[in-house]
Amino acid sequence: MKTDIKPGLTHTQIYETTAQMRATQLTADVFSTPAMIGLMEGTCVRLTAPYLDDGENTVGMHVDVYHLAPTKIGQSVTVTAEILEIEGNKIGYAVSAINDAGVKIGEGKHRRAVILPKQFADG
């Protein structure tokens, strides 16, 4: 990890919800919790990537997220990730999501570990 990674860094990204992100157990076309969490994790990955050394990557370790409100498929969702803490190779984030109607639809915390994929795959 590069030395300029620090708490307070943020990344925000806008995503369009698609049919593949639908809560399939419902008859209504609404955005699913797993899809929202996936976007939150992806935003954390994009926030961290510029601060990794060659050959490093991150893997998710923990997710604690609340899905607060529904969003219809086709709406856009803005996800923000902020680095809260760095402890060794572990990074803690705050994550939030707001739909295009300005409604906060999700918030929580996420943790990732910085790894060397080759060593990780070797067990």
Active-site residue, from 43, 58, 67, 80? 67
Q: Residues 10, 16, 18, 33: which is the catalytic one?
A: 33
Please name which of 111, 108, 110, 105 lies closest in space to residue 15, comparing C-alpha atoms: 105
User: What does the chain come to in residues?
Assistant: 123
Count of C-beta atoms within a 10 Å radius of residue 107 = 17
Q: In the annotation, is 33 catalytic?
A: yes
C-alpha 44/C-alpha 71 separation (Å) is 21
- 56 in active site: no
Instruction: Answer yes or no: 87 catalytic.
Output: no
Q: d(Cα 17, Cα 70) in Å, to the nearest integer?
A: 12
Residues with catalytic annotation? 33, 41, 67
